[in-house]
């Protein structure tokens, strides 16, 4: 299996886990934040959608300026789950149609027009997918404190074990 094929597989495998965590956000506590410096649950979720959307742009164009990151506003958890799934599905399709040679071409992440990171397209999108998995874990730690239940991610959670 190539790195590109592993990326495609990983997106398909992880997407349902993301959906469950987004859908577990209690609507009545969507503005919960564990600390004043932390994002609210919905800010974090919206940021994840924005970051997920960069995957396709990086695969297609080879660059993205994170200062231009677009985050959906005023969405319900179910809408966030749907948007996130759509963006990951698009990235999976883009990765599926590109050659391994294109996968290895250069990508540049910009920060307000300045080069922040340069590597191959494949390495960059895979690293960003891992970052999204990290943020999913971060968001899952909010759920119980928000009055929600933590869904099973890689096995039963304390809230789902019976």
pLDDT tens-place string over residues 108-136:
999 999 999 999 999 999 999 999 999 99
Read off the pLDDT of residues 26-80 as tens digits, 9 standing for 90 and up: 999 999 999 999 999 999 999 999 999 999 999 999 999 999 999 999 899 999 9
**pLDDT above 60 for 159:** yes
**Nearest residue to 68 (alpha-carbon basis) of 23, 118, 11, 116:** 116
Read off the pLDDT of residues 74-112 as tens digits, 9 standing for 90 and up: 899 999 999 999 999 999 999 999 999 999 999 999 999
Phi and psi at residue 26, to the nearest 5°: -70, 125
**pLDDT at position 132, please?**
98
**pLDDT above 80 for 161:** no
3-146: CATH topology is: 1.20.120
**Nearest residue to 63 (alpha-carbon basis) of 14, 115, 11, 28:** 115
Total-model pTM = 0.94
**Nearest residue to 50 (alpha-carbon basis) of 88, 14, 17, 19:** 88
């Amino acid at each position: 299996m190539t790195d590109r094929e592993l990326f495609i597989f990983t997106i398909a495998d992880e997407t349902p886990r993301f959906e469950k965590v987004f859908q577990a956000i209690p609507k009545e506590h969507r503005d919960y934040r564990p600390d004043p410096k932390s994002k609210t649950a919905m800010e974090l979720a919206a940021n994840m959608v924005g970051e997920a959307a960069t995957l396709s742009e990086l695969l297609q164009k080879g660059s993205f300026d994170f200062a231009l990151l677009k985050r959906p506003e005023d969405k319900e958890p179910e809408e966030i789950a749907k948007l996130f799934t759509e963006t990951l599905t698009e990235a999976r399709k883009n990765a599926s149609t590109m050659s391994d040679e294109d996968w290895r071409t250069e990508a540049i992440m910009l920060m307000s027009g300045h080069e922040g990171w340069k590597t191959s397209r494949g390495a960059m999108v895979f690293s960003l997918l891992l970052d999204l998995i990290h943020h999913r874990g971060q968001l899952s730690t909010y759920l119980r404190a928000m009055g929600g239940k933590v869904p099973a991610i890689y096995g039963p959670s304390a809230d789902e074990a019976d």
